[in-house]
Amino acid sequence: MTKWLSISDVKEIIAATSAEEVTASYLELIEKSSINGYTCTSDGALDTAKMVDKGEVAGPLAGVPIAIKDNISTKGLATTCSSKILEGYVPPYDAHVIERLKAAGAVIIGKTNMDEFAMGTSTESSCYGVTLNPWDHERVPGGSSGGSAAVVAAGESPISLGSDTGGSVRCPAAFCGVVGLKPTYGAVSRYGLISYANSLEQIGPMATCVEDIAAVMDVIGGYDARDSTSIDNKIDYQAALVDDVKGLKIGVPDEYFGEGVDSSTEKAVWDAIAKYEEMGASWGKVSMPNTKYALAAYYTIAMSEASSNLARFDGTRYGPRSEGENWHVMASRTRAENFGKEVQRRILLGTYALSAGYQDKYYLKALQVRTLVKQDFEKAFANFDVLMAPTMPLPAFKIGEKVEDPLSQYLTDVNTVPMNLAGVPCISVPCGSSDGLPVGLQIIGNHFDEATLIRAAYSFEKNTDHHKARPGEVA
Ligand SMILES: NC(=O)C[C@H](N)C(=O)O
């Protein structure tokens, strides 16, 4: 079996052999892997595949393996958010997206490594250790869904799910040279996604091609009453797979090409925009003046929400418990001993931002900035169909390079956090390289206009070869 299969390749191989053989060969690849992309594999994967072969399970993804980020609840399969505090936690229920995938016949092959509680841009804060970037084992795969991107880039799963709070799907997709979509806020149910910052995050797919992104979205997208922010706005993702961008109006925001953007990254993105022009689209500059405040607002809001969401991990209900003479001592010891450094930093900063006397100064200010950022997008979409920018300002950095200086790591999120503040959809597609490392083109759309995003991304793929680049075998 060849590596780096698309969903249609997998289906062809299943037809010629069996779903069981396909699943078994992926499990074998995972077993031999040297990138530390998975936190565990699923014991039930082969059973599901056998059921597909017997015709007991059918659906659009019948027999197709999918890797799942470790913060998405999977019934009977450990879900730890790559944190010691959830060691041994096995959810008694499936997240909405998992229910949908199972009903579509997909084979949940395993859980993927991530930054602890999705807090990071490198997967280095995982309690399981970093995942290696398949393009260069000395570099990070991006984060926080680093495992989900790396296993697709390494050919260890055809597709995967990540979650994106401030770039967590798009950043690793860009760093690993795969496609990653963050849907409109409310397009995919968050039921069963362990919350980090719930007003910002969405579950999104990763794959080697746009076609597969659309196929997964058709399964996981749509309304779910169990998530109060789910919106009933059904999109036909696969119908948007049309190779035609004639007349498409592209806005290019200057603010996304600012200080610190790597020159080869910038060139790859401009080359992509020139390609769109050649394909019949037009482009113009657009100003998004509040972009410069987005990063500070994002981190204030994300940390505030995290400090509240993570209060539930206190040793009472799940995970390990430290000894203590009363509940308070037990809970604080459990938290101090089992949350990692980055998570503790964010809980402290978030608690501070929400505390009496500071709330107006930080949290409420950040919410006001959030409104301004949203207005920038509204104005831009009055004149343009999509916006384009580099997903990340630089290619994958070295493991350890930004560990001691968390601010320098936060700064790498400049181009991805505004979309989470605004709730708009965006996709990262491979568009070239910088020093042999993949570069991602970020295409941003208006609320619930995933169809235009998919059409733009698909057309690019049909007219270029960037998405076919694969990491060499790195020793
Ligand atoms: N979760 C994310 O989307 C990643 C972002 N870098 C953060 O740490 O918040």
pLDDT per residue as tens digits for the range 348-366: 999 999 998 888 899 999 9
For the domain bounded by 1-475, which CATH number is listed? 3.90.1300.10
Which residue minimizes the CA distance to atom 5 of ligand 1? 166
String of DSSP letters for 328-394: HHHHHHHHHHHS-HHHHHHHHHHHHHHSTTTTIIIIIHHHHHHHHHHHHHHHHHHH-SEEEEESSSS
Task: Give yes or no for residue 107 having a pLDDT over 90.
Answer: yes
Instruction: Calculate mean pLDDT across residues 314-337.
Output: 94
Ligand 1 atom with least separation from CA of 196: 1
Q: Quick: pLDDT tens for 119-142.
A: 999 999 999 999 999 999 999 999
What Å distances lie between residue 303 and 11, 164, 364, CA to CA?
42, 15, 13
Decide if 193 contacts 300 (C-beta within 8 A). Answer: no
Task: Give yes or no for residue 13 having a pLDDT over 90.
Answer: yes
What pLDDT, on a 0 to 100 scale, did the predictor assign at position 233?
A: 87
Decide if 289 contacts 324 (C-beta within 8 A). Answer: no
113 CB less than 6 Å from ligand 1? Answer: no
For the entire predicted model, the pTM comes to 0.97
197 CB less than 6 Å from ligand 1? Answer: no
Ligand 1 atom with least separation from CA of 420: 3
Please give the angle made by the CA atoms of 446, 451 and 452, to the nearest 5 degrees: 60
Q: Which ranges of 126-253 does DSSP label H, i.e. alpha helix?
A: 146-153, 170-176, 210-220
Asked if omega into 228 is within 30° of 0 (cis), the reply is no
Decide if 123 contacts 25 (C-beta within 8 A). Answer: no
234 catalytic per annotation: no
165 CB less than 6 Å from ligand 1? Answer: yes
How far is Cα 447 from Cα 94, in angstroms, rounded to an integer?
A: 28
The Cβ-side half-sphere exposure at 433, using a 13 Å CA radius, reads 14
User: Is ipTM over 0.90?
Assistant: yes
69 catalytic per annotation: yes
Task: Give yes or no for residue 215 having a pLDDT over 70.
Answer: yes
Q: Quick: pLDDT tens for 82-106.
A: 999 999 999 999 999 999 999 999 9
What pLDDT, on a 0 to 100 scale, did the predictor assign at position 103?
A: 97
DSSP state of 270: H
